[in-house]
Amino acid sequence: MRKVLATCALLCTLCSFIGWRQSDFNIKKLKKLYRVIQKLRNSTSKDENKRLAKAESIRDSYQDYLNLSEEYLKRAKKTYDQCLCSFKAPQALVEQLESYMKHAERQIDQIRRRVLEGEKIPHDEKIFSIFEPYTEWISKGKAGVPVELGLRVCVVEDKHGFILHHKVMENETDDKVAIEMVKGTIERFKNFKMCSFDKGFHSPDNQRDLEEILLTVVMPKKGRLSAEDKLREYSDEFIQAKRKHSAVESAINALQVHGLNKCLDHGIDGFKRYVAVAVVARNIHKLGSIILKQERNRERLGIRKAA
């Protein structure tokens, strides 16, 4: 609604329309009601009457917020219709207004269904960013950061610390991309014969198919291990490879520290381009550190020989 009102005000200024002179004040009124419902909490009292009264108060606050939003949305639709008939209105701005109004209608509908009617909103109906609609809700299950908003990125790193292959995962989980990542890496690097994975990549199909592609597959199984699984996962080769797997965390951390914790480009194509550039930058950084190390070693050897 904030973007709806601001866009309406801008269009009215460009097209010499009237009706949104108090747009800043209108936004403040909406924000005030929004802050009220942000702070609301259901009562934990043992008195049922108090719990019911609090629940009724919460519904009333949400209803006030929805009523004001719908009132402004009706006015915005009139402005939108005016702009369609005006040659002064920039088409791109009009399309933005239409998009923002659709998002507002969807959000109003979901709030009414969830809060006033007690319905659980299906996950696939939710949108976590009106500016970057591809944004996903990622449940990491880790202490401190249980949830993140963004897109998953899968990387394959070699023993020297270079990232060989990467993939931006849209509506995909780790177990769905394991085969694709391995095949994509083999296409680029024919000597790629062994790979270590996190537990999230495991599935019976992945285990079976990867064993046909690779000489060694280090993929810990989720849940209880069978006798066959124990024989495989307790082997010396499996244990040694699994211990080295944590080295990929340095690549992940390097990508995040050097800019990939937040994407500054817009759109899904911009996101993928940003990730690809970050991967190239990481590899160049790694190559530079190797060259500097070699130069330092040569300098030390030169000093020793001279001595």
**Percentage of the chain lying above the pLDDT 90 cut:** 41
Tens-digit pLDDT profile for residues 11-43: 999 888 888 889 999 999 999 999 999 998 888
Judging by DSSP bridges, how do beta strands 216-218 and 194-196 pair with one another?
parallel
Tens-digit pLDDT profile for residues 68-92: 999 999 999 999 998 888 888 899 9
Q: What is the mean pLDDT of residues 218-247?
A: 82
Look at phi and psi of residue 19 and say left if phi exceeds 0, alpha if psi is from -120 to 50, else beta.
left
Q: Scanning the structure block, which residue is given the tokens 């949104």?
A: 20
**CA 111 to CA 38: how far, in whole Å?**
13
Look at residue 207 in the predicted model and tell me its pLDDT.
87
Backbone angles phi, psi at 212, to 5 degrees: -80, -20
**CA 270 to CA 45: how far, in whole Å?**
50
Written as one letter, the residue type at 142 is K
Q: Scanning the structure block, which residue is given the tokens 């296409």?
A: 187
Look at residue 66 in the predicted model and tell me its pLDDT.
95
- Of the pLDDT bands very low, low, confident and very high (cuts 50, 70, 90), residue 46 is confident
Look at residue 305 in the predicted model and tell me its pLDDT.
60
**CA 262 to CA 249: how far, in whole Å?**
18
Tens-digit pLDDT profile for residues 187-209: 999 888 888 888 888 888 988 88
**CA 95 to CA 8: how far, in whole Å?**
12
Averaged confidence pLDDT in the chain: 88
Q: What residues does each domain of the chain span? A: 2-125, 136-292
SS3 state at 167: strand
**pTM given for the model:** 0.77
SS3 state at 223: coil
Q: Does the structure show a pLDDT above 90 at 223?
A: no
